A and B are shown apart, each in its own frame.
Chain A
Amino acid sequence: GNSVTQMEGPVTLSEEAFLTINCTYTATGYPSLFWYVQYPGEGLQLLLKATKADDKGSNKGFEATYRKETTSFHLEKGSVQVSDSAVYFCALSPSGGYNKLIFGAGTRLAVHP
């Protein structure tokens, strides 16, 4: 079946540190991959996406590359800010069928000054 595995949190970093949140997936065919961010008390915001192998999604300094060979979509940011503190969800939408998002468990990021 389709599934997403994310590294467990919380991830605690100092401001300006480098961020990596690991995400691997299991799916048949060529799913589309997404990172969503959820700030406290809010809904989900789409952070970035990639729809085919070797695509790199980027937004607000965050990047992730769709790696078919390792079935991974790791999220990176070169220098985090306190305002990046949130829960990050990796998600996939299977190829074909209806538009269903399958989410990973989420990784909580806490950035300290």
Chain B
Amino acid sequence: DTEVTQTPKHLVMGMTNKKSLKCEQHMGHRAMYWYKQKAKKPPELMFVYSYEKLSINESVPSRFSPECPNSSLLNLHLHALQPEDSALYLCASSVGERGRGQPYEQYFGPGTRLTVT
């Protein structure tokens, strides 16, 4: 099973709402990632979790709050978002970050399309 699942598929929220995105993998991977992808642009890394600990935050605003409750699950909590935060949010996972000096390949989920009104 090489699947990363994400829920919900679509989400519309107001600027005062609190919502969460969920990502799950059952491949035994120990590194998980959140990316943001605007229309017609490449994905941009937001956060990296390694062994359930946050290892990288790419200077993401605090209105985005990641959480890794266990090795299979990654959440992204959203609060007080702005319309410009509307995007496709992609989750990815990999075996680990690096093995024998080489990066492990990342497997992506289908994404959650978020619209902030």
Contact = CB atoms under 8 A, between A and B. Distances in A.
A32 interface: yes
A104 B108 CA distance: 17
A101 interface: yes
Contacts, number: 56
B74 interface: no
Contact of B104 (A43, A89, A99): A99
Given A99-B97, A100-B48, A106 B103 contact: no
**Chain B: interface secondary structure?**
strand
Contact of B109 (A43, A89, A99, A103): A43
Given A99-B48, A100-B56, A105 B105 contact: no
A34 B43 CA distance: 14
B90 A105 contact: no
B64 interface: no
A103 B43 contact: yes
B45 A46 contact: no
Contacts of A101: 43, 45, 106
B112 to A, nearest CB: 10
A69 interface: no
Interface in A23-38: 32, 34, 36
A22 B8 CA distance: 35
Contacts of B92: 44
B102 interface: yes
B108 A105 contact: no
Interface in B90-117: 90, 92, 94, 97-98, 101-111
A105 B102 contact: no
Nearest to B100: A51
A106 B63 CA distance: 28
A26 B92 CA distance: 24
Contacts of A36: 108
22 contacts: A32-B102, A34-B105, A43-B6, A43-B109, A44-B43, A44-B92, A49-B105, A51-B102, A89-B42, A95-B101, A98-B50, A98-B55, A99-B98, A99-B104, A99-B106, A100-B48, A100-B56, A101-B43, A103-B42, A103-B43, A105-B42, A106-B42
